[in-house]
């Protein structure tokens, strides 16, 4: 664990900072409630998003635990069947629309993107604030609907059932429609920021990889979200008035609904997971103390995933009456996503190879992330095979698969980002030992929760069922035990991070000695990020050592 030899070498040249004493950091620059609620500072908006996103994560997590407790026994345990249906629907809706989609882009994207581009703010600061309030308005409407009845359709709200069920569909779907606008606005803002706000020296291929990932994510957000927006309105109208757009009794086609739904909802999983890939590219370079291996390959593969992701939606519909040819085509296109993801995985492993690894908490999450991505990704390839999917369709195998790749990878990256950028955001450090303990608990708990579900699905247990035969009980108990472990991990994190927020030691400007552009400003940064003239960035991002020497023994 020798420190990098290149640490003394001059990094990117920061602006002269002789005045920085007079510039309070963004946390204390204005302390009234109004100065927070009406701020246009991307850092404060990111922080407010962090608060809400964590709150909704708690809500979704409580629903998840209720589901797991209910499934402890084959028959009814703590709730009736209808409540169970509502609980898993709410778990899915809250976790997807209120937590995972905004989690990394709206929190860390908002906070880090301008810092990484050497800009004072995002391109449209007021729209940025608006996106927070649109998100909250949609969340309030959706949660109001959930509490006043709740819906039992599953988060996919397939027609014709969602048009006929007597539960409260309309307000929840309309809430999700409103949240979609928040996502679109954030996406537009980030794309324009990448195009117009880059500091002198930051060319397209000198943007940090997190920025590349956010850029690709924003493209998906902008292009896919309107389609589900329209669909949500159509289903709401269908539910309220019965226009029959997707009602087979009136000539409508429910499979058309599924096509339109997955046209958004499949790319949406890349909205969730691409920012995670970006976070991990930053983390792996920092803690291996090596330049990222294959920078361009990682950058291009983000765009590749975003592009191919638009043409893979049909793999959700292998048993919906799609032609065999279309099924095969979608299967192949699905596997191409795997190729791009594999490019990333190999590049990350190549970065760690012969690096001077500092095994800090974010790196522990990177290890978990690598496992979940590879394992979850490989089961995804298996599910993309039409013949195998016919047997696995709508079983717990699918549930376990998407929790591994979509949730596992995103949670790992979210926690890695939270720890890696905690000193940047708050200027304080957390307790490293507790960090590692919590990481171990969470990775272990996650495996213990979902590996039994792979087995359950393979044995034929269907998803969304309230009761199950006796023979599935032991695996279900194991899964619930794992979920409990997971919950303990999160409680520990909440405790030591809250403690660090108040009593944590001052971290200094760059505690990880990272070469990321965002660490060039103070931690926490002043209100306009950089003091003095526009900073310039002559050096490449993730530059730890001359690439020609990187694999020479003892160079790092």
Partner 1 sequence: MQSSSHAAGGAALPVPRLAGHFASLEVQNHAARLGMWLFLATEILLFAGLFICYGVYRFLFPEAWAAASRSLDLTLGTINTVVLITSSLTAALAVHYAKEGKNKMVAVQLGLTLVMAVGFLVIKYFEYHHKFEIGTLPGRFYSYEGIQLPGVPLYFTVYFCATALHGIHVVIGMIVLAFSMVRALKKADFGPNNFTMVELGSMYWHLVDLVWIFLFPMLYLV
- List residues binding partner 1 (CB under 8 A): 114, 119-121, 123-127, 184, 187-189, 191-192, 195-197, 222-227, 229-231, 234, 237, 241-245, 247, 250-253, 256, 259-260, 528, 534
CB atoms within 10 A of CB 301: 24
**Phi, then psi, of 237 in degrees rounded to 5:** -60, -45
- The Cα 164–Cα 546 span in angstroms is 64
Between 311 and 434, CB nearer to partner 1: 311
CB of residue 86 to partner 1, shortest distance in Å: 27
11 in helix, strand or coil? coil
CB of residue 191 to partner 1, shortest distance in Å: 6
Are 105 and 218 spatial neighbours (Cβ–Cβ below 8 Å)?
yes
Which residues are CB-contacts of 187 (< 8 A; sequence separation ≥ 6)? 105, 217, 218, 219, 220, 221, 222, 225
- Buried b / exposed e over 184-199, threshold 16 CB at 10 Å, is bbbbbbbbebbeebbb
Between 231 and 383, CB nearer to partner 1: 231
Between 6 and 527, CB nearer to partner 1: 527
Between 170 and 223, CB nearer to partner 1: 223
Between 123 and 386, CB nearer to partner 1: 123
CB of residue 96 to partner 1, shortest distance in Å: 20
- The Cα 98–Cα 378 span in angstroms is 27
CB of residue 458 to partner 1, shortest distance in Å: 36
Q: How far is CA 120 from CA 193, 355, 518, in A?
A: 11, 33, 12
CB of residue 264 to partner 1, shortest distance in Å: 9
Are 277 and 337 spatial neighbours (Cβ–Cβ below 8 Å)?
no
CB of residue 118 to partner 1, shortest distance in Å: 11
Tokens at 5, concatenated = 């030899």
Tokens at 407, concatenated = 């949730």
Closest CA to 406 of 108, 157, 100: 100
Between 202 and 438, CB nearer to partner 1: 202
369: exposed, middle or buried (Cβ count in 10 Å: 0-12, 13-18, 19+): buried
CB of residue 184 to partner 1, shortest distance in Å: 5
CB of residue 224 to partner 1, shortest distance in Å: 8
Between 263 and 369, CB nearer to partner 1: 263
Between 376 and 525, CB nearer to partner 1: 525
Between 246 and 512, CB nearer to partner 1: 246
CB of residue 189 to partner 1, shortest distance in Å: 8
425: exposed, middle or buried (Cβ count in 10 Å: 0-12, 13-18, 19+): buried
25 in helix, strand or coil? strand
């Amino acid at each position: 664990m020798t420190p990098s030899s290149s640490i003394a070498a001059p990094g990117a040249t920061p602006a002269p900072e002789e005045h920085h004493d007079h510039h309070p950091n963004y946390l204390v620059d204005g302390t009234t409630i109004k100065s927070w609620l009406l701020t246009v500072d991307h850092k404060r908006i990111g922080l407010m998003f962090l608060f809400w996103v964590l709150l909704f994560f708690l809500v979704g997590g409580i629903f998840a635990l209720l589901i797991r407790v209910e499934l402890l026994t084959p028959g009814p345990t703590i709730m009736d069947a209808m409540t169970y249906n509502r609980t898993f629907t709410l778990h899915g809706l809250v976790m997807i629309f209120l937590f995972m989609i905004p989690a990394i882009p709206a929190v860390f994207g908002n906070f880090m993107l301008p810092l990484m581009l050497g800009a004072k703010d995002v391109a449209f600061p007021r729209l940025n604030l608006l996106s927070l309030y649109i998100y909250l308005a949609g969340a309030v409407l959706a949660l109001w609907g959930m509490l006043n009845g709740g819906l039992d359709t599953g988060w996919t709200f397939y027609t014709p059932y969602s048009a006929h069920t007597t539960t409260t569909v309309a307000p929840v779907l309309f809430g999700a429609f409103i949240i979609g606008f928040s996502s679109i606005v954030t996406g537009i803002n980030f794309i324009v920021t990448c195009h117009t706000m880059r500091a002198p020296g930051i060319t397209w291929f000198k943007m940090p990889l997190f920025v590349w990932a956010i850029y690709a994510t924003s493209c998906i957000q902008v292009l896919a979200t309107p389609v589900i927006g329209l669909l949500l309105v159509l289903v709401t109208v269908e539910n309220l008035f019965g226009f029959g757009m997707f009602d087979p009794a009136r000539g409508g086609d429910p499979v058309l609904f599924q096509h339109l739904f997955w046209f958004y909802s499949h790319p949406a999983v890349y909205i969730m997971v691409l920012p995670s890939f970006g976070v991990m590219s930053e983390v792996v370079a920092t803690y291996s103390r090596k330049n990222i291996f294959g920078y361009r390959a990682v950058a291009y593969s983000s765009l590749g995933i975003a592009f191919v992701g638009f043409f893979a939606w049909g793999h959700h519909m292998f048993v919906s009456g799609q032609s065999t040819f279309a099924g095969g085509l979608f299967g192949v296109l699905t596997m191409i996503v795997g190729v791009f993801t594999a490019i990333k995985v190999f590049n990350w492993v190549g970065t760690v190879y012969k690096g001077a690894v500092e095994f800090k908490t974010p790196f522990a999450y990177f290890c978990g992330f690598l496992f979940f991505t590879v394992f979850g990704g490989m089961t995804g390839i298996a599910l993309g095979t039409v013949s195998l999917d016919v047997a696995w369709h709508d079983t717990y195998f699918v549930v376990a698969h998407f929790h591994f790749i979509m949730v596992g990878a995103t949670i790992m990256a979210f926690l890695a980002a939270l720890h890696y950028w905690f000193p940047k955001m708050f200027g304080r450090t957390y307790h490293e030992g507790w960090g590692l303990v919590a990481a171990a608990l969470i990775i272990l708990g996650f495996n213990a929760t979902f590996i039994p579900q792979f087995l359950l699905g393979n044995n034929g247990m269907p998803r969304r069922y309230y009761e199950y035969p006796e023979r599935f009980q032991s695996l279900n108990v194991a899964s619930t035990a794992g979920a409990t472990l997971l919950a303990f991990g999160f409680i520990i994190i909440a405790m030591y991070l809250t403690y660090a927020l108040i009593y944590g030691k001052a971290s200094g400007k760059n505690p990880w000695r990272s070469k990321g552009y965002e660490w060039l400003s103070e931690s926490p940064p002043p209100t306009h990020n950089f003091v003095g003239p526009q900073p310039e960035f002559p050096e490449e991002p993730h530059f730890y050592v001359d690439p020609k020497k990187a694999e020479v023994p003892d160079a790092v």
